[in-house]
Amino acid sequence: MKEYFLFILISLLFLSFSSWGQQKYTLSGSITELSSNETLIGVTVAIPELSTGVTTNEYGFYSITLPKGTYTILISYLGFEDIIKEIKLTENRRIDYSLNEETEQLEEVVVTENVEKMDIRKPQMSVNTLSVGTIKKIPVILGEADVIKSILLLPGVTNAGEGASGFNVRGGAADQNLILLDEAIIFNSSHLFGFFSVFNPDAIKDVKLYKGGIPARYGGRVSSVLDIFQKEGNSKEYKMNGGIGAVASRLLIEGPIKKDKAAFLIGGRASYAHLFLPLFDVDNTAYFYDLNAKLNYRLNEKNNVFLSGYFGRDVFGISDNFVNTYGNSVGNFRWNHLFSDKLFSNLSLIYSDYYYGLKLDFVGFNWNSGIQNINIKYDLKHYATDRLQMNYGVNNVYYGFNPGKIEPSNSDSGIIEEQLIQKYANEFAAYVDIEHRVTNNLSLGYGLRFSNFTRLGQEELNVYTDNNPVDFDTELLIYTEAEPIGVTNPERSSTISTFNNFEPRASLSYTLNKTSSIKASYTRLAQYLHLLSNTSSPTPLDVWTPSGPFTKPQLLDQYAFGYFKNIKDGDYSFETEIFYKDVQNRIDYIDGANLIANNAIEQVILNGEARAYGLEFLLRKNEGKLQGWLAYTLSKSEQRTPGRTNLETGINFGNWYNTPYDKPHDISIFISYDLNEKWSFSSNFTYQTGQPTNYPIGQFEFEGLTVPYYGLRNAERLPAYNRLDLSATLTPKKNKNRKLKGEWVFSLYNAYNRRNAASISFRKNDDTGINEAVRTSIFGVVPAVTYNFKL
């Protein structure tokens, strides 16, 4: 670790001395869309004479330092008209540019080409970007454009199947993904138990998924980062767009508060299929709603402030006796400040809350649980030279965990109010990240993150013999819950556990020629929060718990190597990566573990390890009427929990076993075709190896009952999953002469009616007396129609 610090220090010294020797000046500014003043992310600012350039950051800012002289500046963002200017750089200059769209009807198509193309020279690898245009083209269930369902078509990304929430990246668990909306943590990304995601595509500006080579500014999860930014709002004129679908509708309004200075955005979605259930004498409910809002104000050239928020709720009820309510609430205040033309900063104050509630009238009580956090972040980006850029900053997150509170629903229920022990923790991090173009062929990315996690005092803390909350029965060869030998009462301000971790990051890119490069990366990450779940995908009832005296933080080491090539001037691209991941302290559960309303969860948890490795391919067609990609992943995901001593058998006899999200073969194909200005078509095909599961391997009779018994964990699999989806979009020609423009989207989910198995259960046939397997499927073929409009 000392050597790593020394390496970064030498780089900084190199930075200082490299700026000497010749007179240099800085060109900086912001780049926006002309029609709305919306800042643009990833715009290329190139200096052809020096074969150098830079791209705009998440807030549309760019900065590049060049020797004194006269240069041609080329600003390009496909889908927009290029700007070519000659500038004389004899002093530091700030120049803001506004780009004009080339053709309105091709807006989404061409923007897709730009943001999704890979840069073979940058050291960043294992990252995928999807534009809103692409997301809206992908056919999904019931016609609702969906961010999460879209990323499932990328290599290395899977989930547990239809109706499953969350997603899995490179063999990792769903709780190992850091999901950010305008930098705020989203703890549950799904509506209606996984049928929809919480992200309104109309409000989304940028979507990036980091699967490896994760920059040092990110931390807290060991599998991936899904970073989503909302639009800022149109400060030029008022605009409205939305859609009316089979089960849900949406509406978004944006416009200026003060022209060219301040803007607002507000968008909402709601489902309404439950309104028709009474027509069929069904007294149940299942619906969701969410709200996105954002304000931005440009104080002056050096200061911008943003206020954004999200609120969403799901309600599922069976008559009035059982009502389940859950959802996310987030708020974020951000202040962008420009210290100089080379130093950009962003201060964020973030609040995030995930709530889960149950109303159980038939047993007379209500249940409430959740997790809250307050996050303070301060990030700086230093554009040192045209060859070296630095990101550095700090952030601090305070967590409050409510594992559950029971309250009587009425005075006659006989239920006594009980609060499970609440837990508290604080996570601090500081980082530095450097992107260094060493030569014209070699680029490096290197950084270091330091994280500190402090588990704070709580009302009660169990004490166990030898500090061991799990016992092992050497006769029955099973793990059992240990009995506490005492209880302590640490004060809230006290510390009961502390963890410190250094998390180095390194990546490189070596350009073989103008069209191809090789890249490699190493990533170390620490995760201090754990999702308690023994299902194949997260459910709203799952509870988050912090690392502490009995639960260690998860630690990841990931290695990746890849080859990247642009074909026909970027019309096509090909990339392939191999990766290996090793995770220490992955939690596992003893057999028969009770995870719900457990006040001593440490009694059913063991610390194990996990590993995943694989090979990914991605072939894309980026331009033309026909676009799309073919993705294939060959991978393996396993975990094990060996015995803590020679006398213990461990879980699954200490052997490696398939994780619930192990999918050795995963193929995804997406194609979109623009036939003409009126019609466009899209389709996607998915094939995945069946999900690991457990089947009975035998049975025995006990007191007149037939009892099945099982073999090793996850040794069997469900049948392979495959599905074809189709969609067609009709854009009436009369749109050109109308202020209100509309389109019709016709979709067919699971076009050949494949009955994919969500689960397989076993029962005895009453007529034959023979055991039989029963397949449970969620969806057959599902047609849908959606009308989208904009004004």
pLDDT of residue 8: 54
pLDDT of residue 11: 54
- Using alpha carbons, select from 391, 373, 370 the residue that is nearest to residue 382: 391
The model's pLDDT over 175-204, given as tens digits with 9 standing for 90+, comes to 999 999 999 999 999 888 788 899 999 999
What would the mean pLDDT of 602-626 be, rounded to a whole number?
94
CA distance 286 to 655: 42
Label residue 275 by pLDDT band (50, 70, 90): confident
What would the mean pLDDT of 254-283 be, rounded to a whole number?
86
User: Higher-confidence residue: 514 or 394?
Assistant: 394
CA distance 209 to 218: 12
The region of weakest confidence among 158-172, 373-387, 662-676, 743-757 is 158-172
Tell me which H or E stretch contains 109. helix 107-116
Is the pLDDT at 249 greater than 80, yes or no? yes
pLDDT of residue 283: 76
Q: What's the CA angle centered on 246, arms 242 and 250, to 5 degrees?
A: 20
Is the pLDDT at 27 greater than 70, yes or no? yes
CA distance 450 to 555: 13
Alpha carbon 626 to chain centroid, angstroms: 28
What would the mean pLDDT of 399-412 be, rounded to a whole number?
86
pLDDT of residue 108: 37
CA distance 119 to 443: 12
pLDDT of residue 102: 67
Structure tokens at 155: 């290599």
What would the mean pLDDT of 441-452 be, rounded to a whole number?
96
User: Higher-confidence residue: 346 or 37?
Assistant: 346
pLDDT of residue 751: 94
Determine phi and psi for 50, rounding to 5 degrees.
-105, 0
Q: Amino acid identity of 394?
A: V
Long-range contacts of 736-745 (CB under 8 A, 24+ apart): 739/791, 740/789, 740/790, 740/791, 741/789, 741/790, 741/791, 742/787, 742/788, 742/789, 742/790, 743/787, 743/788, 743/789, 744/785, 744/786, 744/787, 744/788, 745/143, 745/785, 745/786, 745/787, 745/788
Label residue 230 by pLDDT band (50, 70, 90): very high
The region of weakest confidence among 43-57, 312-326, 466-480, 527-541 is 527-541
Instruction: Detail the DSSP E strand segments found in 711-768.
Output: 716-717, 721-730, 741-749, 757-764
pLDDT of residue 468: 92
What would the mean pLDDT of 211-232 be, rounded to a whole number?
95
Q: What's the CA angle centered on 154, arms 724 and 243, to 5 degrees?
A: 65
CA distance 601 to 621: 50
CA distance 85 to 80: 16
pLDDT of residue 657: 95
What would the mean pLDDT of 337-358 be, rounded to a whole number?
94
Is the pLDDT at 9 greater than 70, yes or no? no
Longest Cα–Cα distance of the chain, Å, equals 94
CA distance 290 to 790: 20
DSSP letter string, 355-421: EEEEEETTTTEEEEEEEEEEEEEEEEEEE-SSSEEEEEEEEEEEEEEEEEEEEESSTTS-PPPEEPP
pLDDT of residue 21: 54
The model's pLDDT over 651-672, given as tens digits with 9 standing for 90+, comes to 999 999 999 999 999 999 999 9
Is the pLDDT at 405 greater than 80, yes or no? yes
Q: Amino acid identity of 335?
A: W
The model's pLDDT over 488-544, given as tens digits with 9 standing for 90+, comes to 999 989 999 999 999 999 999 999 998 999 999 999 999 999 998 876 656 666 789
The answer to whether the beta carbons of residues 780 and 748 sit under 8 Å apart is no
The region of weakest confidence among 61-65, 266-270, 354-358, 594-598 is 594-598
Structure tokens at 149: 């369902």
The model's pLDDT over 723-740, given as tens digits with 9 standing for 90+, comes to 999 999 999 887 777 888
User: Higher-confidence residue: 629 or 698?
Assistant: 629
The answer to whether the beta carbons of residues 728 and 746 sit under 8 Å apart is yes
The answer to whether the beta carbons of residues 161 and 691 sit under 8 Å apart is yes
- Give 662's contacts (C-beta < 8 A, 6+ positions apart): 171, 635, 636, 637, 638, 689, 692, 714
What would the mean pLDDT of 420-431 be, rounded to a whole number?
96
pLDDT of residue 463: 94
For the chain, the distance separating the N- and C-terminal CA atoms, rounded to the nearest angstrom, is 57
Structure tokens at 587: 């939690």
- Give 104's contacts (C-beta < 8 A, 6+ positions apart): none
pLDDT of residue 416: 83
What would the mean pLDDT of 230-241 be, rounded to a whole number?
93
CA distance 96 to 697: 69
3-state secondary structure (DSSP) of residue 246: coil
Is the pLDDT at 343 greater than 90, yes or no? yes
Q: What percent of the chain has pLDDT over 90?
A: 59
CA distance 391 to 45: 19
Label residue 105 by pLDDT band (50, 70, 90): very low
Is the pLDDT at 104 greater than 50, yes or no? no
Instruction: Detail the DSSP E strand segments found in 59-197.
Output: 61-67, 69-76, 83-89, 93-94, 97-99, 127-130, 157-158, 168-169, 177-181, 184-185, 190-191, 196-197
Structure tokens at 55: 């791209």
- Using alpha carbons, select from 139, 140, 132 the residue that is nearest to residue 109: 132
Is the pLDDT at 406 greater than 90, yes or no? no
Cα distances (Å, whole numbers) of residue 354 to 218, 309, 424, 458: 21, 14, 15, 20
Decide: residue 297, CB within 10 A, 0-12 exposed, 13-18 middle, 19+ buried.
middle
Label residue 787 by pLDDT band (50, 70, 90): very high
Beta pairing partners, 443: 437, 509
What would the mean pLDDT of 60-70 be, rounded to a whole number?
90
Label residue 408 by pLDDT band (50, 70, 90): confident
User: Higher-confidence residue: 557 or 735?
Assistant: 557
- What's the mean pLDDT when you consider all of the chain? 88
The answer to whether the beta carbons of residues 194 and 166 sit under 8 Å apart is yes
Is the pLDDT at 218 greater than 70, yes or no? yes
CA distance 400 to 187: 13
- Strands 24-33 and 157-158, bridge-based pairing: unpaired
pLDDT of residue 3: 56
User: Higher-confidence residue: 20 or 237?
Assistant: 237
